[in-house]
Amino acid sequence: MNPIKKLFDNIHPYVEEGGKFHAFRSLVDGFETFAFVPNTTSRVGSVNIHDAIDSKRIMSFVVIALLPALLFGMYNVGYQNALAAGGDLTDFWSLFLYGFLAVLPKILVSYIVGLGIEFVVAQWKNEEIQEGYLVSGIIIPMIIPVNTPLWILGLAVAFSVIFAKEIFGGTGMNIFNPALITRAFLFFSYPSAMTGDDTVWVAQESILGLGYNVPDTYTSATPLGEAAVDGFSGFSCETVCNAVTGLIPGSIGETSVIAIALGGLLLLWTGIASWKTMLSVFVGGGFMGWVLQATGATPMEWWHHFVVGGFAFGAVFMATDPVTSARTECGKYVYGFLIGVVAVLVRILNPGYPEGMMLAILLMNLFAPLVDYCFVQSNINKRAKRAAK
């Protein structure tokens, strides 16, 4: 017998009902079902397909898909630090290790706070640990500036898990994407840490002898932020190339289009993410970008929206969230298209907030049930008419 499986079997009598450590039952169950595929299936009579592959397996694939963007983001953190300090840009491993040490505390805070709350709630409600935070916990550190204070991050995570998930009933019941609620909380509660002229997008202090100390007076802006200041006057070829590769200031995991695309391909290949939603976001963003450029509202090329800011990351990893997005097949087209449209509208027409992806997805999270209702009701009406003939 597998020694780890044997360990869990030996622990079970102590954490089951009436056991000495019953208070930790949900905690043990969460770790066991994460390590092993459950040997039980749904007992609900209306379920037609019984499968032991639970949603933890699906969430694990999403985490794997996020790794290219996360690992490149760690390297870029070190690269931007060295670039700002005029340091050595050729030592790959030193740059990566510095970024790893800078990002790791944020990942730990995200998981410790978020999973801690979920463990407590699960035990209180006598339910299994809900696995949705496996993905949210890694996305949250990837969509914030590297200099976001840990205490602010922990507060935002707690707010998101409690008020965007648990208050609605937990994973599968929430109407808003928890990771985006975390970012929205940071944006509105601590705007100086998320956007504005005084935002620092580059790590400023050395860590364990790695990296460089950047002057406190140093500030940096993302290419999208710089374009907003200049009236979206466009991007140079070098800026566009750097945005595609990811060697630009920005949120930790949102800079590299190539890394994001690798994760997106995995999600599409495994069938976890909907290609209809993903494609429609880019179609909607491209269409609105072209309209605004054609009408003279902006000189920015329509396709530039895809490679700067959080557009690509949002389209691949957050607009496709199966819980908060549209679920009807036709509704996915409308849902994704409107996200792209709203994101570009906010970027161009709201100079105070050049990044519109967060607001666009949250807005469409709210309207996703209405989109689905319209298509479902339309199908019901069509079938009723056919039945009446």
CA-to-CA dists, residue 313 to 32, 193, 336, angstroms: 31, 20, 14
Of 199, 224, 211, which is closest to residue 310 (Cα–Cα)? 224
Query: Residue 46 gets which letter from DSSP?
Result: T
Burial (CB < 10 A; 0-12, 13-18, 19+), residue 254, is: buried
pLDDT in tens, 216-251: 656 667 777 776 666 676 677 778 888 899 998 889
Residue 35 has, within 13 A of its CA and on its CB side, a CA count of 13
Give the integer Cα–Cα distance in Å for 269 and 256. 20
| Residue-wise pLDDT tens digits, 153-194 | 999 999 999 999 888 887 778 999 999 999 999 988 887 766
pLDDT recorded at residue 1: 58
User: Taking 90 as the threshold, does the pLDDT of residue 20 lie above it?
Assistant: no
Q: Enumerate the domain spans of the chain.
A: 3-35, 55-379
Mean pLDDT for the stretch of residues 315-332? 94
Condensed to tens digits (0 to 9), the pLDDT of residues 59-112 reads: 889 999 999 999 999 999 999 999 989 899 999 999 999 999 999 999 999 999
Tokens 């494609």 belong to residue: 279
Task: Report the distance separating Cα 51 and Cα 284, nearest Å.
Answer: 36
Per-residue model confidence (pLDDT) at position 353? 76
pTM over 0.85: yes
Which CATH fold topology does 55-379 show?
Answer: Ammonium transporter fold (1.10.3430)
* Distances in whole angstroms, Cα of residue 202 to Cα of each of 183, 306, 318, 363: 18, 22, 24, 30
- How far is 379 from 389, CA to CA, in rounded Å? 16
Q: Which two tokens stand for residue 100?
A: 């790893």
Closest to 273 (Cα-Cα) out of 323, 321, 311: 321
Confidence band, pLDDT 50/70/90 cuts, at residue 118: confident
